[in-house]
Chains A and B, each alone.
Chain A
Amino acid sequence: MAKVTIDGITIEVPDGTTILNAARMIGGDIVPPTMCYHSKLKTSGGYCRTCLVKVSKGSEKDPRPMPKPVASCRTNVMDGMEVENLLSPEILEARAGVVEFLLANHPLDCPVCDQAGECDLQNLAYENGKVATRYEFQKREFEKIDIGDKIQLHMTRCILCYRCVKTADQITDGRVHGVLNRGDVSEISTYIQNAIDNDFSGNMIDVCPVGALTDKTFRFKSRVWYTKPVDAHRDCPKCSGKVRLWYKGEEVLRVTGRKDQYGEVQDWICNDCRYEKKNTSDWVIEGPSHVLRDSVISANHYESLKALKATIDRQRKGLPHGHKTTLGHGALDPNNTH
């Protein structure tokens, strides 16, 4: 076991736990935001850099601080480690920088994007970003590509989180999906645009944090906030059969995997459940899905984000760089903000 302190809150976690997961065990606002990490995918994380934290004390044995910010999703805790997230103005500034980088080449046209309302990037930018972008050059654009008849890829919106690549690698067989080219012209691609006709390919849609991979059978049928999520299950020979049905009126518009509070899929589902079972009679209904605090479907969506945003803005603006904060931990107490 290792004892780690994050923003002044101490917790004991098993050896080999990442800083991010230790923070998630504590819960609340001190949990660093993530875009590329996904708990159900091996070797995910490390790419987007939104989860950067400052390690102000390495461990009991070697108390030296780590020289650079580290990706909390890929860095394991050490016994006696002290970590700063919301308490570090430099980290919040660096994170605002990451948001700006992620948005630099991202089309800022949420009103016409199918992901709007359930987009992790929208939420991230709202909480951690700044008001305006300083990027004034032409953004890169790609043509839309059909990956088979069910999935559409719009690379223009992709943030290269590698989640779909890992999904294709780890839960479907026969690797035909990966990254082509390098740098800011990298693109997600299937092998010569092969259709991914695999029983589990649809999960790539669920892991995509932005509107780059979307469900063609659902695209533009409805804004998500007009739909009602309901948890349901069925006895499926291929997968867990645990799904979320998205209703408009009496009609099931789409079927997805269930996501946890961090937007990460809990159980993979097969394409049969996702595309072929769109009648209520196919399912055992469990009841309305637990609506997340940061979901637009929740009544006071951006209201509930405001408290955290205010804390972040205050921390970032109010304090000079490198200045130790005098803010009492109470203000960041996870129990205080809800």
Chain B
Amino acid sequence: MAGKKLLLANDHIEGIRSLRVYRQHGGYQSLEKALKQMTPEQIVEEVKASGLRGRGGAGFPTGMKWSFLAKPEGVARYLVCNADESEPGTFKDRYLMERIPHILIEGMIASSFALGARTSYIYIRGEYFYVARILEQAIAEAYEAGLLGKNILNSGFDHDCYVQVGAGAYICGEETALLESLEGKRGNPRIKPPFPAVAGLYGCPTVVNNVETIAAVVPIIRDGGAAYASIGIGKSTGTKLISASGHLNKPGVYEIELGVPVEEFIYSDEYCGGIRNGKKLKAVVAGGSSVPILPAELILKTANGEPRLMSYESLADGGFASGTMLGSGGFIAMDEDTSIVKNLWNFSRFYHHESCGQCSPCREGTGWMEKILHKILDGNGTLADVDLLWDIQSKIEGKTICPLGDAAAWPVASAIRHFRKEFEEYVKNGKNIRDVKHYYRLNNLVEI
């Protein structure tokens, strides 16, 4: 049976991008309900009751984040939507904004009402320029229909929403770097505390939420927090957009009810339809490039032999020794021909390129790791290099200003943890590993 869809239920409807069609299918009814029948406090309570967790990566409970927002008299408050979506393997926010921009705009207005924010911003990565256009179009439509601006739907609530395009930097997805960039400064993460809830944009209390998080507020207001919480499993409530990529028969964006078994997600026809060309699954990066990579046997089943589920808790089962994280839901599947070392080099190259350079472990360590991986790939590595990689990542993890350092360290640690043999193979025979696929088959390196 198909799972329930809350965000993408109408994504196939022609013209759903326009305000007219969006409203024909129930659009802006949540906003109307929020403004006319609910108080801001009630909305916050519903979001708390829904169990919604931030969809940007860390999974922090949204209701709790909202209730931390400082509310000093006479000081502006802001809602900022994080649409920087730059984690390799993650493209769900783009799909949602491109298809149904009004669900985000509706969520922005309703959430701003709940938070008492007179102004909100959508900060979108520079490469999504055309999506920014789509959002601006949607915002213009909303102004025209009296859904934005002064006295929205005669409720007395005034609100303005702006789109700001970034210059294309992964680090500007980190919420405090995002705020710096939004203020027109260099996108360096801030040193916390203070947290944005106390001193965020222009020093004012600010909530930063992911696109999907804000969109999820729309069905929560419509159906109530309890109805949302009844979907999913345990503390992983509701639905989640998964960006599925890699060697899958049907890559794409899927809305799943949290708790779907990983095996079903990969192999069933409702979702990814199995591995391309009848190949075997070798490994999965389940939550965007920064989360630990797991070999096939550990992604399908936990170390205890239980089926692994697509939920925050189940994916994390076993800690980093045998588990991973749901992260932003960037699900990258790799078949038996994939070179883990080469893939890791590619990830490391990304983090090296994207480090802001403020703190020394990340600034110097990311480039160093990339260079060592390149050396190993070239067939010039030694076993000591593999140990050195391990040592460098351990000296970055947990010692930096922002979590980009961790994001650079975890892929390295997990690849060595689960695929050390492959690194050693590169050290021994690297010069011969020109055609990875051929080499693996020849040497039977894949053993699943």
Interface residues of A (CB under 8 A from B): 46-49, 52, 67-69, 71, 74, 93-94, 97-98, 100-102, 104-105, 134-135, 137, 159-160, 162, 178-179, 181-186
Contact = CB atoms under 8 A, between A and B. Distances in A.
Contacts of A52: 399
Contacts of A134: 388
| Range for the number of chain B residues in contact with chain A | 20 to 34
A101 B352 contact: no
Nearest to B364: A101
* Best-surrounded residue of B354, B357, B400 (most CB of chain A within 10 A): B357
B96 interface: no
Given A49-B400, A137-B371, A101 B355 contact: no
A49 B398 CA distance: 11
A161 B212 CA distance: 37
B436 interface: no
Contact of A74 (B191, B368, B391, B392): B191
23 contacts: A46-B191, A46-B359, A46-B401, A47-B358, A49-B360, A52-B399, A67-B398, A94-B395, A97-B395, A98-B399, A101-B364, A101-B365, A101-B368, A135-B368, A137-B371, A160-B357, A162-B358, A182-B169, A182-B354, A183-B354, A183-B363, A186-B357, A186-B363
Interface string B396-423: 0011110000000000000000000000
A48 to B, nearest CB: 5
Interface of B: 169, 171, 186, 191, 352-361, 363-368, 371, 388, 391-392, 395, 398-401
A169 to B, nearest CB: 12
Nearest to B171: A182
Given A69-B399, A184-B352, A159 B360 contact: yes
* Best-surrounded residue of A104, A159, A182 (most CB of chain B within 10 A): A182
A178 B391 CA distance: 33
Contacts of A137: 368, 371
Contacts of B355: 182-184
Contacts of A101: 360-361, 363-365, 368, 395
Contact of B364 (A47, A74, A94, A104): A104
Contacts of B352: 183-184
Contacts of B357: 160, 179, 181-186
A135 B358 CA distance: 20
A105 B364 contact: yes
Contacts, number: 89
B136 to A, nearest CB: 28
A185 B364 CA distance: 10
B391 to A, nearest CB: 8
Contacts of B186: 178-179
Contacts of A181: 357
B363 A48 contact: no
A333 B146 CA distance: 70
Given A101-B360, A182-B357, 6 more contacts: A49-B361, A69-B399, A71-B191, A74-B191, A98-B360, A101-B395
B367 A47 contact: no
* Best-surrounded residue of B353, B358, B392 (most CB of chain A within 10 A): B358
A305 to B, nearest CB: 22
A104 B388 CA distance: 14
Nearest to A74: B191
A178 B357 CA distance: 13
A281 B69 CA distance: 61
Contacts of B398: 67-69
B38 to A, nearest CB: 35
Nearest to B392: A97
Contacts of A93: 395
A102 B395 CA distance: 12
* Best-surrounded residue of A52, A101, A186 (most CB of chain B within 10 A): A101
Nearest to B169: A182
A289 B355 CA distance: 42
Contacts of A48: 359-360
A160 B368 contact: no
Contacts of A179: 186, 357
Given A48-B359, A49-B399, A183 B368 contact: no
Nearest 3 CB-CB pairs, A to B? A97-B395, A186-B357, A101-B364
Contacts of A98: 360-361, 395, 399
B348 to A, nearest CB: 12
A94 B392 CA distance: 10
Contacts of B371: 137
* Best-surrounded residue of B353, B360, B367 (most CB of chain A within 10 A): B360
B367 A183 contact: yes
B399 A68 contact: yes
Contacts of B400: 49
A69 B400 CA distance: 9
